[in-house]
Amino acid sequence: MILAGASLALWGWPGSSAGPLGAASAPPAVFQPVMDTDPGPLPPDVLATPEDASVTETGTSIALPAASSPDLGIALPQALPPDLADPILRWIAQQPGARVITDTQQADIWINVDGDGMLLAERIYVPVARFATLRDEVSAVDLLAQWMGAPEPGQMPLAADPSALAGLTLLWGSPAQVEVLPDAAAVAAALEPYPARLGVLPFDQLAPQVKALTMNGLDPTNNDFDASEYPLTVRLYVNAKPDAQDAAAGLQAAVEAAGVQTNRDPAKLTVLAMTGVTAMARMTALRMEQNGYGYPAEVVGPELSRADITHISNEIPFTEDCQVNASENNLTLCSRTEYLEALRGVGVDIVGLTGNHLNDFGEQASLWSMQFYRDQSLPTYGGGSNLEESLKPLLVEHNGNRLVFLGANQYGPEFAWAAADRPGSAPYDLAGISQAITDARSDLDADLVLVELQWEESYDTLPIQSQREGLQALSSAGADIVTGVQSHVPQAVGFG
């Protein structure tokens, strides 16, 4: 992901994997397992149905021969998410005499969404739109109307991957019309040409190219999300007759062992919020003196501070005797130490020091500012007391996720760059920072590598050519997220 000057609020996502291809006109598949390993074909007698019955699989009706009463009859719902169907079918195949049957009343074990029995698995589904949209929310009523009704003239149908098709079928029954696409990337591509089109994806398949929409005020990408009140929470329960309780517990254990009990584990989630350039000087400083030191955080503070990690790129130093100078042409910038209240108000956790004003008040003032951050227990990166310190990566661990932050100042001026015996921002070197990205993977075991750049400045909302080329080069070098903090206006977002 490349951000050429925009602020970023990133809600971490895991990698996606392709699922089986479905057709829009086909009914939901009874089973669509995605096999990660190949233990060999499932026994052909896993499925047992009454005489002349049939099982529907992705648009194909397969007639099955009559079978004798199974030793262990297991009734499954009409649709199952593929990643959940896989371990369930494997477990059934390993049980002597076990068969899938269609009659719940005759079953020894049955799975449903009615809320009784032992919780087997949970799935969270998320309505999405293309990334470039002003829309933030969709109601459950509106989404259900699209699911149950045919699209109006000129309106595109819902787009969904196979898991979302199965999950919403469990909640709402079969759809009137849904375009089923193989994976999140295909859903994102289908949404991109249509600003008003909606899709649905499993939480663990959310991709950067889509925007997750809230539903009834609830946002699964937030770390305070309550799944119990969310309309697109699907919970499957396993029930059993008294003499099949042990077998049901075995099925539950198999699902747990496969790691597919849920697709949203709060203990593995990290919410990261990143900002563009910050400089509490000139007119901003004057307003803070007039309205209170926490003034800049009054509106954005609650949102930014909700993140697990809140990043600020602060391009100017704190100094002991900073004086407010609100003149338009003042280019020698500093902040009073009292202004830290505004950063605390947005929940700052880490600070990028790639700015080109770090040494505006001299080297001693810059060193004092860096010590001030240390005294305030605020980790920094992208700048330092000398060149070696400025180049050091910052590793942040949260909920088992390892995020490595790197930063550099491409634009200068030269006196702002750190040197062997001078503080400042890290000078930009493509070969050096590309190697640092590689080292972050190999030496620090990074899950995400994030690079912050102070690039050539531009007051245009469209990135200039050098910005595009420079940020793309680091994306190509392996950075997961590259942010340009040089701009004083919102710019573009790209996906490398």
Q: In angstroms, rounded to a whole number, what is the distance separating the alpha carbons of residues 75 and 103?
A: 7
pLDDT of 24? 31
- Report how far Cα 117 is from the mean position of its chain's Cα atoms: 32
Tokens of 342: 């505004």
Q: Decide: helix, strand or coil at residue 479.
A: coil
Measured between alpha carbons, how far is residue 145 from residues 55, 140, 219 in Å? Answer: 28, 8, 20
Q: Are 163 and 234 in contact (CB under 8 A)?
A: no
Q: Are 313 and 452 in contact (CB under 8 A)?
A: yes
Averaged over 475-481, what is the pLDDT? 97
Element (H, E) at 432: helix 430-442
Element (H, E) at 339: none
Averaged over 46-65, what is the pLDDT? 36
Select the more confidently predicted residue: 31 or 209.
209
- Report how far Cα 405 is from the mean position of its chain's Cα atoms: 17
Q: Are 383 and 353 in contact (CB under 8 A)?
A: yes
Tokens of 244: 């099949």
pLDDT of 263? 98
Q: pLDDT band for position 406 (50/70/90)?
A: very high
Averaged over 198-225, what is the pLDDT? 97
| pLDDT beyond 80 at 70 | no
| pLDDT beyond 50 at 54 | no
Q: Are 129 and 197 in contact (CB under 8 A)?
A: yes
Q: Are 215 and 139 in contact (CB under 8 A)?
A: yes
Q: pLDDT band for position 115 (50/70/90)?
A: confident
| pLDDT beyond 60 at 61 | no
In tens, the pLDDT along 317-370 reads 999 999 999 998 999 999 999 999 999 999 999 999 999 999 999 999 999 999
Share of the chain above pLDDT 70, in %: 86
Q: In angstroms, rounded to a whole number, what is the distance separating the alpha carbons of residues 116 and 106?
A: 18
pLDDT of 490? 85
pLDDT of 2? 59
| pLDDT beyond 50 at 45 | no
Q: Are 401 and 12 in contact (CB under 8 A)?
A: yes
pLDDT of 179? 97
What value does the mean pLDDT of the chain take?
A: 88
Residue in the structure block whose two tokens are 């080329």: 469
| pLDDT beyond 90 at 38 | no
Q: Are 118 and 111 in contact (CB under 8 A)?
A: no
- What percent of the residues of the chain are helix, what percent strand, and what percent coil, each to the nearest 5? 30, 25, 45
In tens, the pLDDT along 188-208 reads 999 999 999 999 999 999 999
pLDDT of 26? 32
Find residue 49's DSSP bridge partners. 66
Q: Ramachandran region of residue 292, left (φ > 0), alpha (ψ -120 to 50) or beta?
A: left
Q: Decide: helix, strand or coil at residue 140.
A: helix
pLDDT of 496? 76
| pLDDT beyond 90 at 241 | yes
Q: How many CB atoms lie within 10 A of CB 240?
A: 21
Q: Are 332 and 324 in contact (CB under 8 A)?
A: no
The answer, yes or no, to whether the previous bond of 413 is cis (omega within 30 of 0) is: yes
Tokens of 15: 């990698």
pLDDT of 472? 95
User: In this structure, are strands 158-160 and 277-278 parallel, antiparallel, or unpaired?
Assistant: unpaired
End-to-end CA distance of the chain: 6
Q: In angstroms, rounded to a whole number, what is the distance separating the alpha carbons of residues 264 and 376?
A: 34
Q: What are phi and psi of 447, to 5 degrees?
A: -85, -35
Q: Determine which of 45-49, 262-266, 295-299 has the lowest per-residue pLDDT on average.
A: 45-49
